[in-house]
Amino acid sequence: MRRGQPCRWRRIRWPGSNPAASPRGDVLAVAQVAGIMAAKNTSSWIPMCHPLPLTGIDIAFSDNGEDKLYIQATVKTKGVTGVEMEALTAVSAAALTVYDMCKAMQKDMVIGPTELVSKSGGKNGDFMRG
């Protein structure tokens, strides 16, 4: 996610910051829950995507200190099918939640790009973005 005006972005509650900074509450905590819920429900969001038994979902946030929020999802399963769609869905839902909760403060936020960084296992093997 990219923000248009960094000064407004500081109103979002980062770990260790003032919880009252955002009028809608802890933005990142809510976005984390949204990402986890989305990963678990990917088969309901995307046609022809079957439900998978997920064994772990982690949503992490970081920023570049200026105008970007990075959202990373790590999804695990014991099954043989890859979970890249679950991870991409989790990141997308988390980003949309941040936008929804912050749009009153700033409407010029941009979401994207969303990309697969790495994957291991699954039918098609490993992948690492160069």
65 vs 127: CA distance, rounded Å: 29
Active-site choice (63, 67, 100, 126): 100
Residues 6+ apart with CB under 8 A from 86: 39, 40, 42, 52, 54, 57, 73, 75
Active site includes 67?
no
Catalytic residues: 100
